[in-house]
Structure 1
């Protein structure tokens, strides 16, 4: 399986995990000129959550969490601001940035990752 298909499979698994835990998926692979966000959801507490999904089959090139660099975080924040404006969401609403990691086929959900 190529990397793109494998990435989509992990995103699907992440979305299923979130749904099982009371989240509502609002958008998958939201993209704009600033970047892309893998998943956008609403938590059980009605918070909008921007979710980056990362996977590593080994740690030979570093952990999955290390792939969410400061530059990547900045792109996600900028893309999230565009999503908020485009969907006319209230700025006073609660927002959060999570990361879902798959390392050695194990899922780890990090809330408020950055």
Structure 2
């Protein structure tokens, strides 16, 4: 695969993640009815859900900036890990958060080759 192809695929996947993270984060920050209803299901307060929205947006912003992309990757992965744990705790379906988590790792592997090298090294 050429570098140009890797770049295109990486940015298309980044755009898909952006739709998920920015969309979800904005809904939480703005206090949409759907976000507040979901928060109530998990027993999360209104202020906490708004803070989680800010974390989602901040993590994605760090992810799209090449210099801070690996930090953003780790924040997004941790956030989705928490989402998976919360879904499991409340016996909710975990398919969507797992797919997003996998998409984060795939996108990071394509965009940040140094991360892939570090994770795959045998040292």
TM-score (norm 2): 0.32
Q: Which has the larger radius of gyration?
A: 2
- Indicate the structure with greater helix content: 2
- Indicate the structure with greater strand content: 1
